[in-house]
């Protein structure tokens, strides 16, 4: 479905982060010329390809967005101040300020006549009252309204989705929006306070095994449910959605619903260990149940994320294990 057109230069923002770094690799393999931008200094990027045009810019500043967008034909906006549930529940204002990035990038994209614009949204836009049951019946795209998203981070994402919609309606800019459902994999955060459940639990279990203290702390009662999408499915989905005719926000997530306790079961199996589970009931834990309804993406693309949680977690576990081992040497 995806075609290269005149070897265009594309802009990937948030390129020094987890998903952005993998997306850079994906499009480099396809032969695209890439401008990679992130706020972090280059030596802090999670994956840095020195053969590309890599720039450190603060995209909350309008002039930096103008610089980043100059001469590109497609924009993939993954730049956002975010993390796992512990981060977004305690940094709502910081999360909201990401609205400046999308706003300035859209203005610059319109000014430069950019062909296509991708915005990375989140399942956090969905109404909280539709996520109270751990047997979650799957969230359809329409469930974002009436609006009651995750406070802070979710509101910023939902507002930015609307910005994309109106730039399409008013100016003809082709925008594409994907709502990510819990992306995980190597090169993500696992120990800096921004990590999500798969990486956090893998880290805890690896350290429990190394220390021979066979206990693990779990946030909440372990019965809350989620779907988790491996990074390879995520970047493929971004590419397909960007070059599709899907004009409205679309779910990008796995349909494999598991409880946090079941996620721990999977990691224990990988680690070949059984641990005592200590539940921290007062810790941040988010909504009770969230899963991705993939009917729209299946209909439009004849595709959906399919990498199993067990396969993906094996790869993540091995990567975190190497990282921790190398740090202790």
Cβ(126)–Cβ(292) below 8 Å: no
Cβ(122)–Cβ(139) below 8 Å: no
Contacts for 13 with CB less than 8 Å, ≥ 6 apart: 20, 37, 38, 59, 68, 75, 76, 77, 78, 79, 101, 105
Please report, for the chain, how many H helices and E strands are present, in that order.
11, 13
Here the tokens at position 61 are: 């500043």
Which of the residues 126, 153, 184, 187 is marked catalytic?
153
Closest-CA residue to 324 (of 197, 157, 211, 183): 211
Closest-CA residue to 140 (of 120, 125, 158, 160): 125
Known catalytic residue at 153: yes
Residue 276 DSSP SS3: strand
Cβ(135)–Cβ(127) below 8 Å: no
Which residues belong to the active site? Answer: 153
């Amino acid at each position: 479905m995806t075609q290269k057109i005149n070897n265009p230069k594309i802009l990937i923002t948030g390129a020094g982060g987890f998903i952005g770094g993998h997306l850079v690799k994906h499009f480099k393999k396809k032969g695209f010329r890439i401008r990679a931008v992130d706020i972090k200094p280059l030596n802090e990027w999670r994956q840095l390809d020195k053969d590309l045009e890599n720039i450190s810019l603060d995209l909350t500043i309008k002039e930096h967005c103008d610089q980043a967008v100059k001469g590109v034909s497609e924009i993939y906006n993954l730049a956002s101040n975010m993390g796992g549930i512990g981060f977004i529940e305690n940094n709502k204002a910081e999360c909201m300020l990401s609205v400046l990035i999308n706003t300035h990038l859209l203005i610059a994209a319109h000014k430069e006549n950019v062909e296509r614009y991708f915005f990375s949204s989140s399942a956090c836009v969905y109404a909280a009252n539709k996520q109270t049951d751990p047997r979650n019946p799957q969230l359809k795209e329409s469930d974002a309204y009436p609006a009651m998203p995750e406070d802070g981070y979710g509101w910023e994402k939902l507002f930015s989705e609307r910005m994309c919609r109106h730039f399409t309606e008013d100016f003809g800019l082709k925008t594409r929006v994907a709502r990510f459902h819990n992306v995980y994999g190597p090169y993500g955060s696992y120990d800096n306070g921004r990590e999500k459940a798969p990486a956090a639990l893998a880290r805890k279990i690896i350290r429990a095994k190394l220390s021979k203290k066979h206990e693990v702390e779990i946030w909440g009662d372990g019965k809350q449910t989620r779907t988790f999408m491996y990074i390879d499915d995520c970047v493929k989905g971004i590419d397909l959605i960007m070059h599709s005719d899907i004009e409205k926000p679309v779910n990008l997530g796995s349909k494999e619903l598991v409880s946090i306790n079941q996620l721990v079961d999977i990691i224990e199996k990988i680690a070949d260990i059984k641990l005592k589970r200590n539940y921290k009931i007062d810790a941040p834990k988010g909504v009770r149940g969230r899963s991705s309804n993939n009917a729209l993406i299946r209909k439009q693309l004849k595709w959906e994320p399919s990498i199993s949680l067990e396969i993906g977690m094996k790869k993540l576990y091995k990567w975190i294990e190497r990282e921790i081992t190398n740090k202790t040497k």
